[in-house]
Amino acid sequence: MELYGQETEVALLGALRGHLSSGAFVDVGAERGGLAHALLSYGYSPALLIEPAPANVAELRRVFGERSDVEILEIAAGASDGEATLYLATTPEGELQPAFHAIGSPGDGDQYRWTADRTVMCRSLDSLLREQRIPGRVGLLKIDAEGTDFEVVQGMGALECDALMIELWLDMPGAVGRCPWTLEDLVELLEPGGLRRLVFVNHQASGVRLVEGAAEPAEGDYGNVVFMTDRVYENARTAIELVADQADRLSDALAEMEIKEHNVNIFAREVEEQRVAIEQMEANRQHLESQLREQG
């Protein structure tokens, strides 16, 4: 199942699992269930999957419909209850995407277009908690709402969690544009609930790096911030460092491969240029010989 390059995030969350108070998790923006499937394989359960896009919901029901420990809600999550417009993401050529659908249009970039599709029900997590659709505390809350993630956090209310993963970027001009919130905004909301420690999974052009205690993505980079309580962080610190080391080694290997590939490409171009020069010299020689024969 598609993880959209979030294998490092899965490894990190898997490392945290044994240090959480429970395996219960809420997945806001579950898309087609790639991350949820991975979390379930790491022992997370039960799961509440929140997803507003009909095609994605149909796929979630196909994949998880037989599991009694997975509940699927065809709604959006936000700061409060109400209705919202669902915008579906397509390529510029009109091909519907499995991900990147949004509540509120992020604006068109080079990679995607968003088109208003339908009105959907929007619920706050606090409202779902009051209806006992969510337990008062879960092990993990994951938020991937394509631009309205911060509003989901604003709607948490009394919901508590041991760890929370949320997307963060600076500016992605070709896709969703500038991030409408900052790390400081998130910290201000989450610290009172005990989520004072953070690890940033930073996706860069050269690979993936884990950064503890800070999140400063460059333009074009993106990533996920994993907030956690002091207890979880201290107990899982060795495992976090191991995941960070694995990510560094993989990224270094990929960077080395890119350098080698770049050097091979340069060498290939030089060889091609030399071949063309030799052929031109041979053509000139033959032309000169022809002229000499005609003169003789």
Residue 177 confidence (pLDDT): 78
Domain boundaries, the chain: 7-250
Residue 256 confidence (pLDDT): 56
pLDDT tens-digit series, residues 213-239: 999 888 888 899 999 999 999 999 999
Pairing of strands 76-77, 47-50: unpaired
- Please check whether residue 226 is in contact with residue 12, taking contact to mean a CB–CB distance below 8 angstroms: yes
- Please check whether residue 72 is in contact with residue 144, taking contact to mean a CB–CB distance below 8 angstroms: no
Segment 59-87 shows an average pLDDT of 96
CA angle 53, 57, 60 (to 5 degrees): 140
Segment 27-47 shows an average pLDDT of 96
Residue 267 confidence (pLDDT): 59
- Please check whether residue 177 is in contact with residue 114, taking contact to mean a CB–CB distance below 8 angstroms: no
H/E stretch holding 201 reads strand 197-204
Residues 6+ apart with CB under 8 A from 159: 125, 126, 129, 134, 136, 137, 138, 141
Query: Strand, coil or helix: what is 175?
Result: coil
d(CA 149, CA 169): 12
Residue 144 confidence (pLDDT): 94
Reply yes or no on whether the pLDDT at 106 is more than 80: no
C-alpha distances (whole Å) from 202 to each of 105, 116, 263 are 25, 31, 27
pTM listed for this prediction: 0.83
Residue 222 confidence (pLDDT): 86
Fold of 7-250: Rossmann fold (3.40.50)
pLDDT category at 133 given cuts 50, 70, 90 is very high
- Averaged pLDDT of the chain: 88
Give the amino acid at 285: R
Residue 2 confidence (pLDDT): 81
Reply yes or no on whether the pLDDT at 170 is more than 70: yes
Query: Strand, coil or helix: what is 257?
Result: helix
- Please check whether residue 5 is in contact with residue 203, taking contact to mean a CB–CB distance below 8 angstroms: yes
Q: What is the DSSP letter of 23?
A: S
The interaxial angle of helices 34-41 and 7-16, nearest 10 deg, is 40
Closest Cα partner for 29 from 114, 131, 122? 122
Enumerate the β-bridge partners of residue 77: 123
Radius of gyration of the chain (CA): 25
Residue 249 confidence (pLDDT): 82
Between residues 1 and 225, which one has the greater pLDDT?
A: 225
Percent of the chain with pLDDT over 90: 60
Residue 52 confidence (pLDDT): 96
Query: If you write DSSP's letter for every residue of 218-238 in order, what string do you get?
Result: PTT-EEEEEEE-HHHHHHHHH
Give the amino acid at 276: V
pLDDT category at 142 given cuts 50, 70, 90 is very high
Residue 114 confidence (pLDDT): 87
